Amino acid sequence: MRDYYTLKINIPAGIVSPGALQQVLTAARSANVRQVRFGARQQLLMTVHYEDMRALEKELKQLPVRYELNSERYPNIISSYCGEDVFRTGAWLRESEYHTVLDQFEEPPRLKVNLSDSNQSFTPFFTGNLNFIASPEPHFWYLYVRPKQSNTVFRWPDLIYTNDLGRLAKAVETALLEGWNAGASMDEETLYALVTHRQAFITQPATQEVELPEFSLPYYEGFNRYGQRSWLGLYRRDEQFSIDFLVDVCALCLKTRIGEICVTPWKSLIVKGIEEKDRSLWSYVLGKHNINVRHAANELAWQTEDHNDEGLGLKNDIIRYFGKHDTRTFGLCFGVQTRPKSEVFGSILIRKRPLLRIGHLHLFSVYDLYFTENFNPNSRTYFRFEKGLLKAFVPHQIDRLCRKFNNRRSQENGKTVRLEAESAELVVDAENWVHQCPYCFTVYNPQYGDERSGIPAGVPFEALSANYSCPTCDAPKSEMVEVVLPLIKAD
């Protein structure tokens, strides 16, 4: 028997009423739960001891509240609703449209559904299986379909009307799941024909791809004014929120007539609509629970897997390195992936992989670093920067990659990125030869040079001084070996 269960409660679109959240938290506290987390797909997560689980389940069923135990059957609808009003977004998509869409989902979807304003970059566009993105045409949406465990996205041929979005999502989900369960290959033409043959939808042709904004993560913590009111962003360094604190937050929302609390994909909370006269009440609650609300911006721009202390520990190691070396990370976000089938969002990705495997036992692990095309985290094309790093060398290499981004950013003209529906696979450019340190796996690539050693881009390895050494571990030039550097890029 398990000692503990992981209980997940979906918060559709990241929107929850203070009263409903307070009821769930009170029930959890009665079951001896003291801390909860929020997931990357805007869920409420908690760990419950098996002796307390039966009583908690009974209370949740009486409320009633849908929940899952140690399961991911229903991965939640996520949305950019949390940024509406507080971060300037599109012209027609407002809070009422999100609610109109949510009301169409009578049953929770079994695939990941994302609802996004096309003019924001606070929430991810393509981490779902069904990714709906508001188009410039009022009340019509793009749909980008991404099969499960795939990096390939394709655009639905039509724009979908708001009032038909839920019905079409259900039809596409049913067709995909029936095809996968039958072992059939579901290409985009077959899927479109199957869905539109069964029923009609209000649509119009999608004549071009969606245009994505340049990524920029707004500072989402602390008190911030918008109009005549303020919003409050709440982030916790260890990703854990005490139930006592959250119950007080809910109570204050109810007292000051705030009807919603928003969960963000960054595992934080946003409370909108705080009146100036109530600021002192919020300051009192923050002080009562010793809540700091002014962390460094480079600490907020991270995605780690849910319930993963290993990824969180690596994140903290890198942040300390950033602080020590005063690394500039503006315009970047970072993802840490320690499990092979998990999905994280980031313009720079840190992926753990086993170096030595005996059956299901991983005896030794290393890390690979990737960055997305144009460093836009919504791109589906990844390039490998370093391979096979020991954990101790990851922070330095991330620092190098940040400097690479900053050098490139200074030369950009600021144009937006246009997404092209494309697949991505690992390909090897036969001419992409580099020299790699055999000890720490640091690469010298003449395309980028070695900024720390004062070597500009374009200097071939053969032209380097005989005294040149690995910038990470000081291995001599003579011991560096010539290797092919594979790239992950589009067909």
pLDDT score at 349: 96
Q: Under a CB-based contact definition with an 8 Å cutoff, are residues 126 and 146 in contact?
A: yes
Q: Is 205 exposed, middle or buried (0-12, 13-18, 19+ CB in 10 A)?
A: exposed
Angle at CA 24, nearest 5°, toward 253 and 272? 25
> Can you give the pLDDT at residue 488?
44
Cis peptide before 205 (omega within 30 of 0): no
Numbered ranges of CATH 3.30.413 in the chain = 88-212
pLDDT given at position 428: 41
- Which of 75, 56, 34, 71 shows the shortest CA–CA distance to 240? 34
CB atoms within 10 A of CB 137: 13
User: Residue for token digits 């899927």?
Assistant: 191
CA 135 to chain centroid, in Å, comes to 22
HEC profile for the chain?
CCCEEEEEEECHHHEECHHHHHHHHHHHHHCCCCEEEECCCCEEEEEEEHHHHHHHHHHHHHCCCCCEECCCCCCCEEECHHHCCCCCCCCCCCHHHHHHHHCCCCCCCCCCEEEECCCCCCCCCCCCCEEEEECCCCCEEEEEECCCCCCCCEECCEEEEHHHHHHHHHHHHHHHHHHHHCCCCCCHHHHHHHHHHHCCCCEEECCCCCEECCCCCCCCCEEEEECCEEEEEECCCCCCEEHHHHHHHHHHHHHCCCCCEEECCCCCEEEEEECHHHHHHHHHHHHHCCCCCCCCHHHHCEEECCCCHHHHHHHHHHHHHHHHHCCCCCCCCEEEECCCCCCCCCCEEEEEEEEEEECCEEEEEEEEEEEEHHHCCCCCCEEEEEEEECHHHHHHHHHHHHHHHHHHHCCCCCCCEECCCCCEEEECCCCCEEEECCCCCCEECCCCCEHHHCECCCCCHHHCCCCCECCCCCCEHHHCEEEECCEEEEC
The fold adopted by the segment(s) 88-212 is Sulfite Reductase Hemoprotein; domain 1 (3.30.413)
Report pLDDT for 252: 98
Q: Point out which residues pair with 7 in neighbouring strands.
A: 46, 69
Q: Report the pLDDT value the prediction gives residue 491, as an integer from 0 to 100.
A: 40
pLDDT of residue 184: 63
Q: Could you tell me if 237 and 299 are in contact, meaning their C-beta atoms sit under 8 angstroms apart?
A: yes
Please tell me the distance from the alpha carbon of residue 212 to that of residue 336, in angstroms, as a whole number. Answer: 24
pLDDT block averages, 10 residues each, the chain of length 491: 86 97 97 97 96 94 93 94 82 90 95 94 93 95 87 92 96 88 73 89 93 89 90 96 98 97 97 95 97 92 93 96 94 93 90 81 87 90 92 95 87 53 42 69 80 83 86 75 58 40
| CA pair distance 348, 370, nearest whole angstrom | 6
Distance of CA 411 to the CA centre of its chain: 27
In the prediction, which pLDDT does 357 show? 72
d(CA 122, CA 386): 27
Residue 386: CB atoms within 10 Å: 24
Task: Please provide the size of the chain in residues.
Answer: 491
CB 383 within 8 A of CB 371: yes
First to last CA, the chain: 48
* Planar angle of CA 234, 315, 368, nearest 5 degrees: 140
pLDDT at 422: 41
pLDDT score for 424: 42
| pLDDT recorded at residue 429 | 43
Give the pLDDT score at 321: 96
pTM for the model: 0.81
Predicted confidence at residue 212, as pLDDT, reads 84
Distance of CA 423 to the CA centre of its chain: 20
CA-closest candidate to residue 264, choices 306, 234, 291? 234
Taking the mean position of all CA atoms in its chain, how far away is CA 483? 33
In whole angstroms, give the CA distance from residue 84 to residue 92: 11
